[in-house]
Amino acid sequence: MTFEVTILGSSSAIPTAERYLTAQVLRALERYFLIDCGEGTQIRLRQMKFSFERIRNIFISHLHGDHFYGLPGFISTRNMMGIKSDLHIWSHSDLKQLLDPLLDHLKEDLGFRLVFHPLNFKKPDQIYSDEKLEVWSFPLSHRISCCGFLFREKPVLPNLIREQINYYQIPVSQLRAIKEGADYVNENGRVIPYSQLVYPPVKPRSYAFCTDTIPLDSVAEFVRDVDLLYHEATFLAKDEAVASQTFHTTAPQAARLALQANVDKLILGHFSTRYRRPDPFLEEAQEIFPNTALAIDGARFSIPLQKIACQS
């Protein structure tokens, strides 16, 4: 099943002619999560042909306008479309107070519930879980309270090799234990290794989103070994002093964090408009972490399924 990130916007602070403000859609196991919602997000959603109805969970990293000013328009359009499903929003607790005046005109006619969930900005916190997926928030360090988000598949038990089960006449009562990693011992004491009875299990996939922060060792540890890491890179190396003053990250700093965290792939975004082209960000990062890509608006990044070798 699909595990794919789509970049809706990649600019910081203000939009440009080529780049909208921060917003992404994660399509994970047929769940659609909107991550941040900068101005113009609903336009990008339409351009990329995403269903507004299928987006039922929104994660807002922090309350700087370039990360949430698109929410009122998205909510209004969703309502005018006649969508009835609840909309859950994870954010700083102040967001509801900020949105209330804008939503007052809709309240009598709003056809769905808005459910606000306050984030914890002091420690990592599991904020969403269903039978297949979990989402964690974790603190970043910016000028105001800010969180990153980690999306992770839950482990899935491997499938049995039916021909082998039938060949060894293994009783149904033993099948669950085998799927969980047990060898089978028949009535004569012969051991049939687990690895001969199941197909290789699938490695759980993961995606981490880190925006508006200085680089943190704690973040590198928390997102260790993720398949795909998005990390802001607002500035180039020559402007590291500005990055420090504004609590942002440079491209080389993001690359070093990805290397430290042993991630598989790094995506850079949240580019300052002081730079005409994003190419230098990629050049600086790839000198340190070669498997780096740019979060260009409209880009999609898929995490493929990978089999894990059975150990027995």
**Do 206 and 228 touch, CB atoms closer than 8 A?**
yes
Q: Up-side HSE of residue 173: CA atoms within 13 Å toward CB?
A: 2
N- to C-terminal Cα distance for the chain?
27
| Catalytic pick among 66, 212, 227, 297 | 66
CA distance 146 to 144: 6
Query: How far is CA 299 from each of CA 91, 249, 264, rounded to the nearest angstrom?
Result: 25, 21, 18
Give me the amino acid identity at 64: H
CA distance 282 to 291: 10
Burial 247-278 (b: 16+ CB within 10 A, else e): bbbbbbbbbbbbebbebebbbbbbbbeeeeeb
Query: Of 220, 201, 200, 202, nearest to 210 (Cα)?
Result: 220
CA distance 233 to 282: 10
Residues in the chain: 312
Q: Could you write out the DSSP letters of every residue in 120-146?
A: PSSS-EEEEE-SSEEEEEEE--SSS--
Query: Of 164, 196, 211, 159, nearest to 180 (Cα)?
Result: 159
Catalytic residue at 66? yes
CA dihedral sign of residues 101, 103, 105, 109 = negative
Which residues are identified as catalytic?
66
